[in-house]
Amino acid sequence: MAEERAQRRLVAILAADVVGYSRMMGANEAGTLTALKAWHKDTLQPLMTKHSGRVVKLMGDGVLAEFASAVSAVECAVEMQESMTAANEDAPEDRKIILRIGINLGDVIVEGSDLYGDGVNVAARLEAMAEPGGICVSDDVHRQVRGKLDIVFEDAGEHQLKNIPRTVRVFRVRSGSLPHEPQPRLALPDKPSVAVLPFQNMSGDPEQEYFADGIVEDITTALSRTGWLFVISRNSSFTYKGRAVDIKQVGRELGVRYLLEGSIRRAGGRVRIAGQLIEAATGGHVWADRFEGAVGDVFELQDRITESVVGAIEPGLRRAETVRAWVKPTDSLDAMICISAACIKSMLRHMSLSTQRSGSCAVQ
């Protein structure tokens, strides 16, 4: 018996998700369900009809829809976000519905009323990348829509999306009328604080992502053992993986004074790690260096690079904190004396470390 041929079609797929759904349900289960039902009836269905879309399925806090036109899908998404802005103005805090939306153009498998395939999966990954109240689209959608709608696209670069075998170029929809859920500015802790951002894989080899993530995790763990330093958890830092970030904004969102970012590049049997420590408030560089090592035992190489990076960062952080304390106005003579002593101690320690390193940054 011949195998039944799968039915396929080319469609624009829209994936939308409610931000903070679990938190909303925990705070007010009945109210959240009522608000979602009202959104489905008063906003979602009318917009589907207007833009000739079809709801493929509702998934509790999300929706998957298809459109015959990429332009119609983007128009619908923009109007959806605009309508949510208006609806949230007078809504209680626990009833506000804030969406993330992703749109992809792809060839999908049709089975009954459902859709399957990479085209659907990419839309779901784009939705996860979108900012609260924002829209992310694939390069295929961007090509079909640019110049046809009064909106601006921001190129977010190439991304390796989870479980997608190829990289996808991502664009963010920027419109003056699109809502944006502002991130609260967290208060800085009493002691110096740092976040280690995901390192950029510049090797063009997806396998190196695991190595880069392992380096970041090891550095985060090592810095956390430093009693005088407050270190943001890996889970919080990795929400920025694959995103073009603004250092000052990330500092505000995570509530840290310093950010460590870097890149990894592999050529043949050697690996090069570049890192830089940045003061979030000013964007100024506190420290920058690079480290190289031969690829042999991966875990041993990770340990050696981590030890070298942490050993170089810690003095840089101490000097930056000393300078920061020095320039901060104080009326206390005792405080001025303590700061002066700290400055001298830091300089002597730095001179000692520089002598020990003999100007070499390589990991042997």
The per-residue pLDDT for 327 is: 53
Structural domains of the chain, with CATH? 7-174 (3.30.70.1230), 193-357 (3.40.50.10610)
109: pLDDT strictly greater than 80: yes
Segment 337-341 shows an average pLDDT of: 45
Q: Which of 127-141, 232-246, 324-338 has the lowest mean pLDDT?
A: 324-338
Which of 109-118, 231-240, 302-311 has the highest average model confidence (pLDDT)?
A: 109-118
- Top-confidence residue, 231 or 179: 231
167: pLDDT strictly greater than 80: yes
Which of 49-53, 94-98, 147-151, 200-204 has the highest average model confidence (pLDDT)?
A: 49-53
Task: Report pLDDT digits (tens) over 236-258.
Answer: 787 777 766 778 888 887 888 88
The per-residue pLDDT for 181 is: 46
Average pLDDT taken over every residue of the chain: 78
- Band of residue 210 on the pLDDT scale cut at 50, 70, 90: confident
Segment 216-221 shows an average pLDDT of: 86
Phi, psi of 188 (to 5 degrees): -70, 140
- Top-confidence residue, 299 or 251: 251
What are the structure tokens assigned to 208, written together?
A: 């190196």
155 torsion bin: left (phi>0), alpha (psi -120 to 50), beta (else):
beta
DSSP string, 102-140: EEEEEEEEEETTEEESHHHHHHHHHHHHSPTT-EEEEHH
- Band of residue 175 on the pLDDT scale cut at 50, 70, 90: low
SS3 (DSSP) at 98: coil
- Band of residue 339 on the pLDDT scale cut at 50, 70, 90: very low
Contact 50, 7 (CB under 8 A): no
Q: Report the percent of the chain where pLDDT is more than 70.
A: 79
- Top-confidence residue, 3 or 161: 161
- Band of residue 215 on the pLDDT scale cut at 50, 70, 90: confident
**Residues facing 194 on adjacent strands:** 231, 258
Distance, in Å, from the CA atom of 362 to the CA atom of 102, rounded to the nearest integer, reads 43
- Band of residue 190 on the pLDDT scale cut at 50, 70, 90: low
**Hey, how many other C-beta atoms are within 10 angstroms of the C-beta on 95?**
17
- Top-confidence residue, 131 or 269: 131
- Top-confidence residue, 91 or 290: 290
Kindly provide the b/e burial profile for residues 154-184, where b requires at least 16 CB atoms within 10 angstroms of the residue's own CB: eebeebebeeeeeebebbbbebeebbebeee
- Top-confidence residue, 311 or 13: 13
**Hey, how many other C-beta atoms are within 10 angstroms of the C-beta on 259?**
26
